[in-house]
Structure 1
Amino acid sequence: MSNYLAIDGGTTNTRISLVKDGKIIGRVVKEIGARKSIEGNMLLKSVIKEGISQLLLDNHIQNGEIDRILASGMITSEYGLMEIPHIIAPAGISEFHSAMVELVFPDISEIPFVLGPGVRMDGRCFDTVDVMRGEETELFGLMDALEPEKAYILPGSHSKCIFADVNGRISYFFTSLTGEMFFALMKDTILKSAVACENQVDVDYLIKGYDFCEQWGLNRSLFKARILKNVFQCGPLEIYSFFSGAVLHDEVKSLLNLDVKEYVVAGKSQLRNPMEILLKRCSDREVTVLPDKLSDIAATVGIIRIYEYGDETI
């Protein structure tokens, strides 16, 4: 059985996992991603090199014991290590496997890297063209097979809603800038003094935020977070929940308009949990929520599945 280092490069974080004999035995998470590499990738390279060295040292493993470094996500974008062209949907695991690129980054490691591509919606219609890097790998790690008539929802920095055709290939998807909107509004506006990130949600205030946005729109709803703090002296959880309901409103509304029988929701619990609450409250369709333990390892499992696809000898 092969041993790998698997890198999941996101917009805000880079996760490096050590996989030995099919089991994840170590992981490091670095708080640097594509957002901090817009001006150049030297820091990203340095952080990845440091993370790899740390994992191998801590687990008493030599470079020669690792077969490949498998990388996916924004690390294969123009703000990553090297830009790998998107493949065109519809695309399944076979197409992703065939489009992988192997090369060595000697300033990082002597171990060969294998970079996975993202996927792009083709066409001339502005409404439907979209791109994705990383979430496709996560989805293949979450699901043994993709099914039509389901919407696969992966909340995150760039939240994705993904659909499959009858052959189990990714056929269509669209993106919302949800996670980055949360981050930007909380860090770089006057709401910084009012909204603090919480790991739980107050259901009543989440729904209040959603309903207020439904009636008055996002712009007006956002300022109400400040009103809740300064006028009504609400607590951090209530304010954050109202804020979350407002920010998630447009994305949830777009999901409610879909002609599907089931929503399958995974991803980070911070966004996944309020998404689940709102979908169950606003829709009578089935909502299936995948647990944290699956979401946490999905990108690692997915990139290995893609790399090993069709190889009976691995």
Structure 2
Amino acid sequence: MKFCVIDCGTSTTRVLIGEGGMVLAKAALPVGVRSTAIRGDNAELKGAIAKCWRQALAAAKVSPNKIDAVLASGMITSNLGLVELPHLTAPVGLADLRRHLVERLFPDVLPLPIHFVRGVKNCVQENAPDGFALADFMRGEETQALGLLHLPAAEAPFSYVSLGSHTKIIGVDREGRIVGSVTTLCGELFAALRERTAIGASLPQGASIGPEDLNLQLAERGFETVQNYGLTRALFVPRLLDILFDTTPSDRLSFVEGALTAADFACFPLARKLGLPLERLLIAGHPLRTSLFTALLPRLPDPHPDVQFIDPSTLDHALLAAAAALTGAK
């Protein structure tokens, strides 16, 4: 069976065509639900999905009538997407996701019915005194996290750490169920800092830097500055490093990334309180961020967890594995 997976995020939309666990083709555009929030309608998002669909089919040399199922997950099921669906309450496994798939047809996007995957939220009592702190949800990462269970190297329990527009730590228990999550605004905060503040002029312009360009010493100083003086002070320091000290744009970016990582690490006690298994971490995202995240883990007060990197290709295979399990494709 051939099937299509639509993965819609805050800032990116992807379409994968798969068969037998293999990626036949994929297409992506830098358009997500953020465009809906800015524009006030989802026309641009619909257009991006339709274009990715056509591009992926063309690359795979597959006609639409050869696609047996279309699965969509992510922010596409939010109020900024195509169809708003309520979250399922953790714990949630693949069988729960399959049982609650919602089928809809959007002829102006693509000619086949789309099976939408509902997101997952933490189990928190509404009147709990710290309910707002314990609350969290996800859309899209549940499909990735549970898809990882089908890969040989990912044995539960583990926590899947996704370093994207948001940082998410998602716990999967021994039974293969999502038990909860913790989310931060890290990626979007960095984008706003770079694009909407004076600090952006002190950071690298154009292509992002890789792990080989990381100044770990300055990243550690950024980490420590947050611990000692707070995040907002730390995020101003790159301007000082630019004007008053002999530093490079990569040095200053390293400082910022270290500061943001420290802010993310402040959520580990919350993850522990929610019962997320933190002894084993599967980490995916930008190579620099995943590298730095791992390098700074020894600064946590807990024992150093076992860490496994999930590269983009592996994450694609996880998505396809989840799609096959949810749609019954072989």
TM-score (norm 2): 0.87
1:11: Cα distance to partner? 0.6
Is the aligned partner of 1:141 residue 2:141? no
CA distance in 2, matches of 1:199, 1:232: 23
Asked if the contact 2:147/2:321 (under 8 Å) is kept, the reply is yes
1:294: Cα distance to partner? 4.8
CA distance in 1, matches of 2:87, 2:4: 23
Q: Provide the identity percentage.
A: 29
1:160-179 counterparts in 2 under 5 A?
160-179=168-187
Aligned to 1:237: 250
The size of the alignment, in residue pairs, is 309
Deviates more, 1:15-24 or 1:129-138: 15-24
1:281-292 counterparts in 2 under 5 A?
281-282=299-300, 283-292=302-311
CA distance in 2, matches of 1:63, 1:293: 26
From 210, 219, 222, the counterpart of 2:223: 210
- Which string of whole-angstrom CA distances, capped at 9 and with x for unpartnered residues, describes residues 176-201 of structure 1? 11111111111111111012342222
1:291: Cα distance to partner? 3.4
One-letter identity of the residue aligned with 1:15: R
One-letter identity of the residue aligned with 2:241: L
Is the aligned partner of 1:36 residue 2:35? yes
| Unaligned runs of at least 5 residues, structure 1 | none
Aligned to 2:189: 181
- Which string of whole-angstrom CA distances, capped at 9 and with x for unpartnered residues, describes residues 140-175 of structure 1? 122337634x43322221211122344221112111
- Which string of whole-angstrom CA distances, capped at 9 and with x for unpartnered residues, describes residues 232-256 of structure 1? 1311211101011111212113326
1:100-119 counterparts in 2 under 5 A?
100-119=101-120
CA distance in 2, matches of 1:195, 1:265: 29
CA-based RMSD of the aligned residues comes to 2.1
Asked if the contact 2:218/2:251 (under 8 Å) is kept, the reply is yes
Asked if the contact 2:22/2:317 (under 8 Å) is kept, the reply is no
One-letter identity of the residue aligned with 1:173: S
Asked if the contact 2:282/2:310 (under 8 Å) is kept, the reply is no
One-letter identity of the residue aligned with 2:19: K
TM-score (norm 1): 0.91
Q: What SS does the aligned partner of 1:127 have?
A: helix
| Unaligned runs of at least 5 residues, structure 2 | none
Q: What SS does the aligned partner of 1:264 have?
A: strand
One-letter identity of the residue aligned with 1:18: I
1:62: Cα distance to partner? 1.1
Asked if the contact 2:23/2:317 (under 8 Å) is kept, the reply is no
One-letter identity of the residue aligned with 1:300: L
Asked if the contact 1:157/1:180 (under 8 Å) is kept, the reply is yes
Q: What SS does the aligned partner of 2:134 have?
A: coil
Asked if the contact 1:264/1:289 (under 8 Å) is kept, the reply is yes
Q: What SS does the aligned partner of 1:163 have?
A: strand
Asked if the contact 2:21/2:320 (under 8 Å) is kept, the reply is no
- Which string of whole-angstrom CA distances, capped at 9 and with x for unpartnered residues, describes residues 85-143 of structure 1? 21111111110111111121111111221111101123212221211101111111223
CA distance in 2, matches of 1:306, 1:83: 23
Judged with a 3 Å threshold, the aligned counterparts in structure 2 of structure 1 residues 82 and 55 are, in CA distance, closer, same or farther, namely same
CA distance in 1, matches of 2:325, 2:20: 17
